[in-house]
Amino acid sequence: MMQPPPAGPDAPLFIVLNAGSGRDNADEARQAIEAACTQAGRRFRIFLIDGPDRIKPLAREAVERARAAGGVVVVAGGDGTINAVAQATLGSGCAFGVLPQGTFNYFSRTHGIPRDTAEAMKNLLTEQPRPVQVGLVNDRVFLVNASLGLYAELLEERETYKSRYGRSRLIAFFAGLLTVMRGHQTWRLRMAWHGQERDIRTPTLFVGNNALQMQQVGIAEAEALENGQLAAIALKETGPLAMLGLLVRGAMGRLGQADQVLSFPFESMTVKAARTRGARRLKVATDGEIGWMDMPLLFRVSPEPLWLIRPEVAPELEAAKE
């Protein structure tokens, strides 16, 4: 039986705060953090991310200091920032805390952590570390999802639209709509899992590790994510209009009912190019962050969990199951 790391009422907090979502939001979050820690008599230190190249080094420093002091590593940011700090924290022996600051906040919502920073601080200061499943692709952490092909392209272009027009769910939806209608490349992939092997032509492969997101788009394998598995979703080769129909189905929570969708649960899966002279490197998105990876890709459940400080019950996830 795995034992949770210590995170008692005297454990100091080492908080990585992303200022990228806007100065006013960052200032408000910082004030809420300082007020809650002062009121609780909790020691803390804030590491302010003031540029994209500062996330990884500050995450590593926060983890090193937390390990030395028996403290808790905390991240205040969106899913991408949470991913980077989780990558540094996994396997460190430190408890992990989240103060959500993003647009969708799937990770925090799935685990019952409030969007409001003051409320999230109450959770952080009173709850206990509980194990949370982590997905890996070539040893790169993903807490929400990992993808290649069209979905990764959609995420990359969505950031361009957000930088021009602002960060909102409506902007994200219309950015995705424009990407889908423009057309897309088809990938020939060979997937191997549970002793099975299958070749597929697909515009995108999506691997989910977030039950709330899977339930919202209507994928039946959402339950598998709470039982030590990941969920693979591949779209069969189709045209722009059919792809638009799939986008609408996903928005209505009925994606899994479409004939063009292949989905299945797994614990470990290898993905490579179906042709010998296929791609050797390709773009992979992990929790919305794009990076190049070498083929073949190995998707798997991490052998050790992330010890997240969270409530025992997540109201939004429970409501989605009904």
CA 297 distance to own-chain centroid: 18
Q: What is the pLDDT of residues 124-173, one digit of tens each?
A: 999 999 999 999 999 999 999 999 987 667 666 555 545 454 444 544 55
CB neighbours (10 Å) of residue 43?
A: 13
At a CB cut-off of 8 Å and minimum separation 6, what does 66 contact?
Answer: 12, 14, 72, 73, 92, 94
**pLDDT at position 4:** 82
Domains annotated on the chain, with CATH: 13-133+304-317 (3.40.50.10330), 140-301 (2.60.200.40)
CB neighbours (10 Å) of residue 205?
A: 26
Over its length of 322 residues, how does the chain's per-residue pLDDT go in tens digits?
477 897 888 999 999 999 765 445 788 999 999 999 999 999 999 999 988 889 999 999 999 999 999 999 999 998 889 999 999 999 999 999 999 998 889 999 999 999 999 999 999 999 999 999 999 999 999 999 999 987 667 666 555 545 454 444 544 554 454 454 455 678 899 999 999 999 999 888 999 999 998 888 888 888 889 889 999 998 876 666 666 565 666 666 667 777 788 899 999 999 998 765 556 888 899 998 889 999 999 999 999 999 999 999 988 888 877 6
**pLDDT at position 184:** 62
Outline where DSSP puts E strands in 28-114.
Answer: 44-49, 72-77, 95-100
**pLDDT at position 174:** 46
**pLDDT at position 276:** 53
For 269, how many CA atoms within 13 A lie in the half-sphere containing its CB?
26
Q: What is the pLDDT of residues 54-82, one digit of tens each?
A: 999 999 999 999 999 999 999 999 888 99
End-to-end CA distance of the chain: 31
At a CB cut-off of 8 Å and minimum separation 6, what does 276 contact?
Answer: none
**pLDDT at position 240:** 61
